[in-house]
Amino acid sequence: MNKAELCTLLNSLNIHPSRKLGQNFLLDPNLLDAMVREADIHPGQRILEIGPGTGALTQRLLAAGGDVTAVELDHRLAAFIRKTYETPSTPFRLIQGDACKQDYDALMGPAPFRCIANLPYSCSSPFLIHIMEGANPPQDFHVLLQKEMADRLSAATGTKDYGVLTVRLAMRYRATIVRVIPPNVFFPPPEVHSAYVRLEPISDPASPNEYRLASRIAAEAFAQRRKKTFGLLKRIYSEHILHQAFTQIGLDEGLRAENLSPGQYRALATCLDHLAQH
Ligand code: SAM
């Protein structure tokens, strides 16, 4: 669909693209094809798409053989997508609602699924946090999001972009920026560059309990990233236990949030939990 066709369709649906809903529709067919190619979809794979919009990516996911579940908040787009793609012979279902509020364990069940989407900028971070907290998070992600956010997801320990989201994600996935995308391939163009990001599973993902504990510690540490993590964690654990844990893992008590690697957050969480229970 070119820009004129997209504008005609949006007008017919009475939609003026909303910045609040991150409604920046992808226009470039080559880029859409490349996104699907890079995701390497196998026929029958279960795919979760967030924000199908007018279906530019959806139609390609289906053409590649995907079994697609899409979540769209805008009821006018949801109705259009449902009418266009939800036929008895198409492996497609549309959920109208907020991607940050779905129960993905109930929606997707226990079988593996992938997440491939041009995420709305407005909710990419809460969506990723929400879905990673489920019992069965996606086996991998191929998502288009703000470049700034992609930098945070893929940040190295000790850099300014490294934060609690980086740590949470790194407990389950390895993030790679596949390509950086300029604003002019969208309508309307966003104010910033975007990036297509691949999140692949790591070989030793954190268990749900380890993930929960380490996320809590990282959140506490990054809440005041200029202060020493040891001191900040006294809000949760006694000084005695903290001292034992830092010594056992070989961590300097003068370290700040950005100096601890995701592996060290995991080790610290496990050790503190063990010490607190004994
Ligand atoms: N997939 C389309 C494309 O690539 O052209 C549209 C992508 S557009 C960046 C984001 C889409 O997400 C819009 O259709 C918007 O209505 C929808 N959206 C915004 N917030 C949402 C939310 N919280 N839950 C689900 N969908 C949302």
* Predicted local distance difference test score (pLDDT) of residue 158: 96
Co-location of 145 and 42 in the same domain: yes
- Answer yes or no: do 195 and 103 share one domain: yes
Ligand 1 contact, 99 CB (< 6 A): yes
Query: What integer pLDDT is reported at residue 1 of this predicted model?
Result: 84
- State how many domains the chain has: 2
What pLDDT was estimated at residue 278?
80
Amino acid symbol at 154: S
Predicted local distance difference test score (pLDDT) of residue 122: 85
Residues 6+ apart with CB under 8 A from 134: 104, 105
Ligand 1 center–CA 50 separation, angstroms: 6
pLDDT given for residue 27 in this prediction: 92
pLDDT of residue 204: 95
Nearest CA to ligand 1 atom 11: 51
**CA torsion through residues 176, 179, 184, 187, sign:** negative
- For the chain, percent of residues with pLDDT exceeding 90: 95
Residue ranges, the chain, pLDDT below 70: none
Last residue of a domain, one of 184, 201, 218: 201
Q: 0.85 cut: is pTM over it? A: yes
Say which CATH number the domain at 185 has.
3.40.50.150
**What pLDDT score does 60 carry?**
98
Output the domain CATH number for residue 238. 1.10.8.100
Q: Which of 151, 180, 201 is the last residue of a domain?
A: 201
Q: Which atom of ligand 1 is nearest to the CA of 25?
A: 5
Beta-ladder partners of 78: none
At 167-193, the pLDDT tens digits run 999 999 999 999 999 999 999 999 999
CB of 56 shorter than 6 A to ligand 1: yes
CB distance 51 to ligand 1 below 6 Å? yes
- Provide the domain limits for residue 152: 3-201
The answer to whether 97 touches 30, Cβ cutoff 8 Å, is no
Same domain, 235 and 181: no
Any ligand 1 atom below 6 A from CB of 143: no
Q: Tokens 């907020």: give the residue.
A: 98
- Could you tell which of 73, 121, 129 is best to mutate to test the pocket of ligand 1, judged by most ligand atoms within 8 Å of the CB? 73
Distances (CA, A) of 143 to 69, 96, 130, 150, 216: 15, 20, 15, 9, 25
Q: Please choose, from the candidates 145, 144, 188, the residue with its C-alpha nearest in 3D space to the C-alpha of residue 3.
A: 188
Same domain, 261 and 185: no
Q: How many helices (H) and strands (E) does the chain have?
A: 12, 9
pLDDT of residue 230: 97
Instruction: State the closest ligand 1 atom to the C-alpha of 117, by its place in the atom list counted from 1.
Output: 1
Same-domain status, 36 and 171: yes
Q: Which one-letter DSSP state was computed for residue 202? A: P
- Do residues 129 and 147 both lie within one domain? yes
